[in-house]
Amino acid sequence: MPYTKRRRLVSSAVAVALGATALAACGSSSDDGEAQSGPVSLTYWTWTPGMDKVVDLWNKGPGKKEQITVTVKKQASGDTLVTKILTAHKAGKAPDLVQAEYQALPTLVSNDALADIGDTVGDAKSKFADGVWQQTTLGTDAVYAVPQDIGPMMFYYREDLFKEYGLSVPATWEEFAETARKLKKAAPDKDLTTFSANDSGLFAGLAQQAGAQWWTTSGDKWKVGIDDAATKKVAEFWGGLVEEGAIDNQPMYTPAWNKALNTGKQIAWVSAVWAPGTLTTAAPDTKGKWAMAPLPQWSDDESRTGSWGGSSTGVTTDSKNKEAAAKFATWLNTDGDALNALAKEGGIYPASTSAQLSGAFMSPPEYFANQPDFYKKAATIAETTAPSAWGPNVNVAYTTFKDAFGAAAKNKSDFTAALDTMQQDTVADLKKQGFGVAE
């Protein structure tokens, strides 16, 4: 992250401390001296497909009444957008509103790019699961964005092949391992699933479910816990299965992976709520043969899931109309018509709990027509989303994961050593950027 130099963290009894200048610059929306008496024009940077059609609903309805017009500017997603936002903010020309992935929020906040909009959007908290709302507060009393879409993790499996091989849907990770071994013994040419090192979000979500806290603070310093006990447990579990050959070690999203899903060589997938869209393309011949269940748990008495993906709508500190922008962000992510349009035009799974059981989500995805309660079950799972703990250099941790875990998976070598590398690289980068780091 090119503009996170020399940020000093404020000592505070919160889960994530923020840059001192960020706190001063953000304040509440009433501090910016904006005049709300006349027409307001806002610019929104987003990558969601069809967002212009959703925004038209605002401009012709609530926006027209409040004299607040929003213009959509389509952008690339991921690190590309984060870098563009920070570049624009450095010049004092960031847009009024931005779409930001949850893991990008600490980077944007520590660079003073996002405003605290809690005074305007605070009442929306009840619309979201606690673990989802927490991602936009960074564990503080501030609110830096409104949740838009989420990716609660789930377990997908070939219902017909589970029946054929006498397999039960695993309720715990121990049962998951036993199921993988049972399948391999019955059908050596098949795998329950694969461990893939080409998508860091999958591993991060699994660690989140296990209780990992990768970034926290100690006084005015960041503390990196990527090698904490919870994450080591996850790494050892998956590394052990790969080493013994109980599961495959090939990456996802390749022609070979698609073929394995489509032919039944791989009969399960740990994924998220958006999986039906991927399976539609990757395994078209198996439509109607899959089912979805909650993610296996680490113990019988637990019920929680991790997140794999998701984004929010934030207001920048450069906006001259923060209160108006926050009103739009709230409408976009809580209004029934807006959320139905987002689902239809953008294909998102809404963070709003009420929207998860209405509109487009009253019937299952076409690929899962055999499971009528798909979205009802998904909404129940989403409510159990575990809290997350992101930091200002997620990109570094994710890149190291792909390199270190990629090599470990390919060579069937020690996953905990790869985890140590991930920890060391993340800490070294924070220090290089000028952040205080607690050892």
Q: For position 220, what pLDDT does the model report?
A: 84
Confidence of residue 1 (pLDDT cuts 50, 70, 90): very low
Q: What is the mean pLDDT of residues 161-175?
A: 98
The DSSP annotation for 159-175 comes to HHHHHHTTPPPPSBHHH
Whether the CB-CB separation of 73 and 365 falls below 8 Å is answered with no
Distances (CA, A) of 393 to 59, 111, 177, 434: 36, 12, 33, 12
Average pLDDT of the residues of the chain: 90
Q: For position 129, what pLDDT does the model report?
A: 92
Confidence of residue 277 (pLDDT cuts 50, 70, 90): very high
Q: What is the mean pLDDT of residues 118-146?
A: 93
**Alpha-carbon span 76 to 158, nearest angstrom:** 34
Q: For position 31, what pLDDT does the model report?
A: 42
439's enclosing H/E stretch is none
Confidence of residue 13 (pLDDT cuts 50, 70, 90): very low
Q: For position 36, what pLDDT does the model report?
A: 52
Residue 272 neighbours by CB under 8 Å, 6+ apart = 151, 152, 153, 154, 205, 307, 308, 309
Give the model confidence (pLDDT) of 311-355 as tens digits. Answer: 999 999 999 999 999 999 999 999 999 999 999 999 999 999 999
**Alpha-carbon span 126 to 405, nearest angstrom:** 38
A 10 A CB-CB count for 280 gives 14
Q: What is the mean pLDDT of residues 208-227?
A: 93
Give the Cα-Cα-Cα angle 193, 201, 153 (nearest 5 degrees): 60
Q: What is the mean pLDDT of residues 38-67?
A: 95
Helices (H), 9-153: 20-26, 51-60, 62-66, 78-90, 105-110, 118-121, 130-137
Q: For position 79, what pLDDT does the model report?
A: 85
Whether the CB-CB separation of 54 and 345 falls below 8 Å is answered with yes
A 10 A CB-CB count for 95 gives 23
- Would you say the pTM of this structure is higher than 0.85? yes
**Does residue 420 have a pLDDT over 60?**
yes
**Does residue 46 have a pLDDT over 70?**
yes
**Does residue 38 have a pLDDT over 90?**
no
Q: For position 24, what pLDDT does the model report?
A: 32
**DSSP 8-class letter at 114:** B
Percent of the chain whose predicted confidence (pLDDT) is above 90: 85
Q: What is the mean pLDDT of residues 354-375?
A: 94
**Does residue 402 have a pLDDT over 90?**
yes
Q: For position 112, what pLDDT does the model report?
A: 94
**DSSP 8-class letter at 344:** I
A 10 A CB-CB count for 66 gives 16
Q: For position 37, what pLDDT does the model report?
A: 60
Q: For position 439, what pLDDT does the model report?
A: 81
**Does residue 139 have a pLDDT over 60?**
yes
- Report residue 385: phi and psi, to 5°: -60, 125
Q: For position 122, what pLDDT does the model report?
A: 87
